[in-house]
Chain A
Amino acid sequence: MTRLGVFICHCGKNIARTVNIEALREKAATLPHVVLAKDYLYLCSKPGQTMIADDIREHRLDKVLIAACSPRLHGKTFAQTAQRAGLNPYLLDMANIREHCSWVHIDGAEGTEKAFSIIKGGLGRLLYAEPLEPFQSPVTKRVLVIGGGVAGIQATLDIANSGYEVYLVEKSPSLGGHMAQLGETFPTLDCSSCILTPKMVEVSQNEHVHLLSYSEVTRIEGNIGQFQVTVRLRPRYVDETLCTGCGDCVPTCPVVVSNEFDQGLGARKAVYLPFPQAVPAVYTIDWDACLNTDKLIICENCYKDCEAKAINFLMEPQEKMVEVGAVVLATGYELMPVARIGEYGGDEYEDVIDGLQFERMLSASGPTGGVVRRPSDGRIPQNVVFVQCAGSRDPEHGIPYCSKVCCMYTAKHALLYKHAVPDGQVYVFYIDIRAAGKGHEEFVQKVMSEERILYLRGKVSKIFKSGAKLVVWGADTLSGRQVEIEADLVVLAMAVIPSSGSQKLARTLHIASDLSGFFSEAHPKLRPLESNTDGIFLAGAAQFAKDITDTVSQATGAAGKALSLLANDFIKLEPTISEVEEGICRGCGLCVSICPFGAVKMLPSTRTGAMVAGINPILCKGCGLCTAGCLSGAVTLKGSSFKQIFAQLEEMV
């Protein structure tokens, strides 16, 4: 004979305001199998939990219903209470009489009646509940970090310094990401590469780090604790183990192409090192630019000049399989192309550039040696217009969100330009100044007042050419006037968007991204470092536009998440997953196509050998889609069986 206990929570006044707890408890006590019905002001409080545990033991309750809030809030709390009292936690269920009842009802009588039917339903469901045991899955103690910018570097170092192996996969020939391109960083004006390159070197020297540069992740299988990753290593045509980084291959290379590291402002050869501090310090042949093809060798200049004999035109792509327990995604951002905004000239005008290009100009190692010059004629500009929110906060034509870093870097650009060209004039168009970081507002205010920068409140409507000059049409909404500026150089603070390969990667990894293409976090407030796939963590601008400080914080956080996973030899997984009854399954395979997690596969039955559905308990999230979809009723979701659900419905209606 089942001995049921019902505990009703007042939740202060949250439930008691609408529901007549006294009446509810009396009615609940009369229900079949109920041997104990109690109420309490806050069941989730320590005395409340102690009361429940004591009653479970004292009254030998074998199933317990907690009528309180949503199980999303306190499901775990009460499951632990049951466990402490020696009751299988899956024999304790919750009836949500707060969110589903007291919060949405005004009338007390109606509310009480509904609460009663919810309790009746809960008890019905509980009658068929069976004890379940969580199961375990082993954890591979290695981590894959995708993306070698400052986020990936930080996460890699944090994990590697804890003694775990890290595979760091970077798409481009060198680590560093966008941070390596920056001149100085706001608001402290630290030299960007001076603070980044030591970390890059640290990565290359750490014995726990396997750096896979010029590589991409092409496939991921498995699940939390045990991912099987396929990495494609693109051929560099230079042997990494032989190349000394001397650069003798460069001078005689006949091919000159624009340098992506300088955002197209400078040039490089087909054989190149992206920048002097590149890690690994190994040259790469850009095969698209090189005169040679897979079938034909036309030019051997670099091969002849290389004393180390590191050049190998026959190099082929390689695939590497790695097994890891966790993944940190740090694929970063890029800027929306200037071409997207036609009214600013698209990319028609050489002297309309984006923020990263200006950054390269300010960099001492940049194409102009740190001198600000107009790309068109190389002259030093006297009037520079900065346009913030270029593409950002423009749901009609660009992106709806604020790119977050532009206010700060534009102020920094204005400051650095004024220091370089003291008699030059700077105009900044903005719609709001968003400087909500430590020292940020102070920085912007200082730039405005000390450098006497004219901030114009309005969005620029049009930029066009007039002779050698650019004419900028804007407005100053503070004075209510149109503004026309004859400028030498226009710098657009283009919107920050996810890096171009991130969507493909999201599909490879089976993780979700938001409407703008940034990877989605598991919970916007409480789980910002986790993707919606267990074991895959997020760091940096791949999750959303953010500055270096926030990126490093998030990367360290993601590393911490990965480490806390690796600290376990096994992970406990919820037993509330689907189960196939082989004898009933007719092998139609419908569930295989329904499952969003790829957890169902057709396998030969252990008894008959016929193909039947088999569920991977680690991949299954217990969503129940297969149980609803199965035409034969062969699939059961443990903890929410058909018997339980029908009993609940029957009691409620």
Chain B
Amino acid sequence: MKIILGNSHPQSLFAQRIEALSRQKLFACYQCGKCSSGCPMAESMDLLPNRVIREAQLNNGPVIMSCRAVWFCSSCFACAVRCPKGIDIARIMEAVRTLQMLDGKPITEQPFCEDTGTLPQIALISHFRKFNM
């Protein structure tokens, strides 16, 4: 998919919404990939966490709105703790989830981690938040 930017395609509308929702500086990310390298759920994701941020920087709405990776994020905050630029990636994941829900995506379609019993407590709590349970 080609990315079109410039005069007739204002760049940052989508990025601005994510920034507003997450209160994170999207353009502080220099794509080092440390979030992705340590993400425990990365293997299940269709886009690695750093790619989610990259697509947001590129204002790539369709990819962001259809990405399933954000639903695998268990909000363990490993990425946020390790990010050299101090970006709370989990918050950005949350912002994307919110946008997808606002877009009317039914929650039931989203993947859910089966073995909730073995999940760390923090992940379980964030799951509740995620599914508005």
A445 within 8 A of partner (CB): yes
Residues on A with C-beta less than 8 A from B28 are: 445, 448-449
Q: Given contact pairs A425-B11, A483-B2, enumerate 4 new A-B contacts (beta carbons under 8 Å).
A: A425-B12, A450-B25, A484-B3, A485-B6
Number of A-B contacts (CB under 8 A): 80
Q: Is B27 within 8 A of A383, CB to CB?
A: no
A296 within 8 A of partner (CB): no
B60 within 8 A of partner (CB): yes
Q: Is A478 within 8 A of B54, CB to CB?
A: yes
Residues on A with C-beta less than 8 A from B3 are: 476, 479, 481-484
Give Cα distance in the complex from A427 to B60, angstroms.
Answer: 15
Residues on B with C-beta less than 8 A from A382 are: 7
Cβ < 8 Å to B, chain A residues 461-497: 469, 472, 476, 478-479, 481-488
- Among B1, B7, B12, B27, point to the contact of A486 (Cβ < 8 A): B7
Q: Give 18 CB contacts A-B under 8 Å.
A: A382-B7, A425-B11, A427-B11, A433-B30, A445-B28, A448-B28, A449-B27, A449-B85, A452-B15, A454-B27, A455-B30, A478-B54, A479-B55, A481-B1, A481-B2, A481-B60, A485-B5, A486-B4
Q: Is B31 within 8 A of A486, CB to CB?
A: no
CB closest chain-B residue, reference A385: B6
Cβ < 8 Å to B, chain A residues 420-473: 425, 427, 433, 445, 448-455, 457, 469, 472
Q: Is A449 within 8 A of B10, CB to CB?
A: no
Q: Is B8 within 8 A of A486, CB to CB?
A: yes
Q: 1/0 per position for B93-124, CB-CB distance to A under 8 A?
A: 00000000000000000000000000000000
Interface residues of A toward B: which range? Answer: 20 to 34
Closest CB-CB distance, B12 to chain A, in whole Å? 7
B78 within 8 A of partner (CB): no
Closest CB-CB distance, A455 to chain B, in whole Å? 8
Contacts A448-B27, A454-B27; is A479 near B60 (CB within 8 Å)? yes
Contacts A425-B12, A445-B30, A449-B28; is A479 near B6 (CB within 8 Å)? no
Give Cα distance in the complex from A453 to B4, angstroms.
Answer: 16
Cβ < 8 Å to A, chain B residues 17-54: 25-28, 30-31, 51, 54
Residues on A with C-beta less than 8 A from B4 are: 483-486
Closest CB-CB distance, A499 to chain B, in whole Å? 35
Contacts A425-B10, A479-B60; is A453 near B2 (CB within 8 Å)? no
Give Cα distance in the complex from A454 to B12, angstroms.
Answer: 9
Residues on B with C-beta less than 8 A from A472 are: 6
Q: Is B27 within 8 A of A478, CB to CB?
A: no
Contacts A482-B3, A486-B6, A487-B6; is A453 near B27 (CB within 8 Å)? yes
Q: Is A452 within 8 A of B26, CB to CB?
A: yes
Give Cα distance in the complex from A488 to B8, angstroms.
Answer: 11
Closest CB-CB distance, B53 to chain A, in whole Å? 10
- Among A425, A454, A482, point to the contact of B57 (Cβ < 8 A): A454
Q: Is A484 within 8 A of B51, CB to CB?
A: no
Q: Is B2 within 8 A of A452, CB to CB?
A: no
Closest CB-CB distance, A125 to chain B, in whole Å? 59
Q: Is A484 within 8 A of B12, CB to CB?
A: no
Residues on B with C-beta less than 8 A from A479 are: 3, 51, 54-55, 58, 60
Closest CB-CB distance, A112 to chain B, in whole Å? 53
- Among A451, A469, A476, A486, point to the contact of B58 (Cβ < 8 A): A476
Closest CB-CB distance, A491 to chain B, in whole Å? 15
Q: Is B2 within 8 A of A482, CB to CB?
A: yes
Give Cα distance in the complex from A486 to B8, angstroms.
Answer: 7
Q: Which 4 A-B pairs have the closest CB atoms?
A: A486-B6, A449-B28, A485-B6, A452-B27
Contacts A448-B30, A452-B27, A454-B11; is A427 near B5 (CB within 8 Å)? yes
Residues on A with C-beta less than 8 A from B8 are: 486
Residues on A with C-beta less than 8 A from B60 are: 479, 481
Q: Is A481 within 8 A of B58, CB to CB?
A: yes
Q: Is A383 within 8 A of B6, CB to CB?
A: yes
- Among B7, B9, B25, B58, point to the contact of A449 (Cβ < 8 A): B25
Q: Is B7 within 8 A of A469, CB to CB?
A: yes
CB closest chain-B residue, reference A451: B27
Q: 1/0 per position for A579-597, CB-CB distance to B under 8 A?
A: 0000000000000000000
Q: Is B58 within 8 A of A445, CB to CB?
A: no
Closest CB-CB distance, B99 to chain A, in whole Å? 18
- Among A445, A452, A455, A478, point to the contact of B12 (Cβ < 8 A): A452
Give Cα distance in the complex from A483 to B26, angstroms.
Answer: 19
Give Cα distance in the complex from A295 to B7, angstroms.
Answer: 56
Closest CB-CB distance, B51 to chain A, in whole Å? 7
Residues on B with C-beta less than 8 A from A486 are: 4-9
Q: Which of A451, A454, A457, A483 has the most CB of B within 10 A?
A: A454
Give Cα distance in the complex from A123 to B73, angstroms.
Answer: 77
Residues on A with C-beta less than 8 A from B2 are: 481-484
Residues on B with C-beta less than 8 A from A425 are: 5-6, 10-12
CB closest chain-B residue, reference A426: B11
Closest CB-CB distance, A32 to chain B, in whole Å? 69
Give Cα distance in the complex from A481 to B25, angstroms.
Answer: 23
CB closest chain-B residue, reference A471: B6
Closest CB-CB distance, B117 to chain A, in whole Å? 37
Contacts A478-B31, A479-B55; is A488 near B85 (CB within 8 Å)? no
Q: Is A445 within 8 A of B85, CB to CB?
A: yes
